Structure 1
Amino acid sequence: MPDTLQERMGVPVLLCDPAGPPVATVADALDLIGAAFLGAEVVAVPAGRLDPGFFALGTHFAGEVMQKFVNYRLRLAVVGDISRHLAASAALRALVHESNRADHVWFVPDLDALDARLAGAAPRRR
C-alpha cells in the first residue's frame, strides 16, 4: 500500500505505508514533507519506518526531523509501539511526554489514538 492522503476526524492526514522506505535521514523526512504538500496537515509515520537513531536522542536526528515539520507547519504523528525505546531512555520518555502535551509532534500507539488526538485538536490553518 502506498502512502495515502485520508481525512481523519476532519483533518487531512498523510498515512505512511508501514512497508515504505525507512526514514533514516533528514532528506527522507523532507520527502515526506513534500508528499504532505498535496494537502495534508498531519503526517502519520509508523514507528517502524523510523531509523533507530531517531529514538537515540544523542544523534539529534529526532530533533532535526521534528524541527523540519514545525518549520513547514505540519504536524508529525509517530504511530506505533515505542515502549522498547522508552524503557531504554529517560530523555526519550521526557521528550514524548512533552511532545504529547503540545500540538506539533505526537507519539501515539495506533490510529485510534491518533483519531482521538485529532478529534480534540483545534483545526490548523496554513
Structure 2
Amino acid sequence: MNVRKINKNNIDIAVVDSEETLITDGSSALDFFATIQYDSDCDRFVLKRSHFVPDFFDLKTGLAGNVLQKIVNYRMKLAIVGDFSIDSSKSLGDFIYEMNSGKDVFFLHSEEEAISRLSGV
C-alpha cells in the first residue's frame, strides 16, 4: 500500500494506492482510517471502489452505513472513486446521490474529481 499526500487549496488529502481490499468491516475501517490519519496527518481520504469488499455496496448488509458513520463521527471526509453505473440497485443509486449532495462522503468517477471535491473546489 502506498499513500500519496496531495495538497490543494491548503488542504491535505491522502490518496491511497493499493491492489488489496482494505475495508472489510466497521472496525477494520476505523483502524485503517486512524492509521492513515496518524501517518499522513490528513483527515480527507481518496480510496478506490476496489478497496472495499463487495458487501459494502449491498446496503442490506449495513456495512456502508457502519463505515460511513465512523467517517462522519470522527470528522473525516472520504471520496470513493470508481464506476458506480455497474450497480443496478436503485437503493444504492439513491444512497450515492444523497451522499454526493452532502459534504463528508462522495462517490466519484475520478481521482481528480475526488481531490477537487475534498479540497472544496
Return the TM-score normalized by structure 1: 0.84
Cα distance per residue 1:16-67 (max 9 Å; x no partner):
1131443111122112221213421211111111100010000000000000
Query: Larger strand proportion, structure 1 or 2?
Result: 2
**Counterpart for residue 5 of structure 1:** 5
Structure 1: distance between partners of 2:85 and 2:14: 24
Counterpart of 2:99 in structure 1 is 99
Identity %: 29
Q: Distance in 2 between matches of 1:22 and 1:109?
A: 19
Counterpart code for 1:12 = D
| 2:41 counterpart (39, 45, 52) | 39
Number of corresponding residues: 119
* Stretches of structure 1 lacking an aligned partner (at least 5 in a row): 122-126
Kindly provide the CA deviation profile for residues 64-116 of structure 1, in whole angstroms up to 9, marking residues without a partner as x.
Answer: 0000011110001101112212xx21111111101101101001111111133
**Equivalent-residue separation in structure 2 for 1:120 and 1:40 (angstroms):** 15
Contact (CA 8 Å) 1:11, 1:41: kept in 2 or not?
Answer: no
Distance 1:61 1:23, change over 3 A: same
Any stretches of 5+ residues in structure 2 without a counterpart?
A: none
Higher relative contact order (CA closer than 8 Å, sequence separation 6+): 2
